[in-house]
Structure formats: C-alpha cells, structure tokens
Amino acid sequence: MILYNVTINIDHSVHDEWMKWMKDVHIPDVMRTGLFTENRMLKVLGDEESGGVTYSIQYTCHGLDDFKKYEKNFAASLRREHLEKFKDKFVAFRTLLEVVE
C-alpha cells in the first residue's frame, strides 16, 4: 500500500477559501481519478512560526502502479489548477511512502 502525502502551508489571507475549495473541489477531483482508495486531511500542530497554517493531505492507493498512473494522467492538471487559484499564497511539498505492516 502506498501513501501519497502533500504537505501545504497556506497563507492566512486565503485560508478559509482554500479549505472550502480543497474539501468541495480538489480532494473530490483527486478521488474521482479512481486511483486512490481513501484520503484524509490533518492539521500540523506547533507550526505557528511558518506564517500560515500547515496541513497534511494524505491519499492511499493500492500500489506504486496506481500512483504512477495518477502522476502520468492527472497530477499536472490538478497541480496547475491549485497553483492558478492560490498563486503565491502557499508552499507545498510531496512525499511518497510505502506502508510497512
């Protein structure tokens, strides 16, 4: 199982708009690709000095092949949409993890 983690620090000035857009548009769009089985959003605690609010958005998929399909077919357009909507108001980095049980 693969966990795709996107950590985003969002500026306070667009926080509420971003949160609504993530919940109503972006995360559902990612899930509609059919390549992830579940998702969750977590708030990073103790990050007051960052100048914004930091979140971890996590998506789970069955394997690396599913993630590669997402990267090849969907990631660029979804990222571009986020960038255009919240340009200069966020910083993001992505981490790919393998669940070890």
**Angstrom distance (rounded) from CA 70 to CA 76:** 9
Structurally, the chain folds into a number of domains equal to 1
Write the CATH number for 80. Answer: 3.30.70.100
**What does pTM read for this prediction?**
0.91
pLDDT for 57-87, tens place per residue? Answer: 999 999 999 999 999 999 999 999 999 999 9
User: How many CB atoms are closer than 10 A to CB 72?
Assistant: 9
Query: Which residues have CB under 8 Å from 22's CB, separation 6+?
Result: 41, 57
pLDDT band, residue 51 (cuts 50/70/90): confident
**Structural domain of 44:** 2-98
In the predicted model, is pLDDT for residue 47 greater than 70?
Answer: no
| pLDDT tens per residue, range 15-46 | 999 999 999 999 999 999 999 999 999 999 98
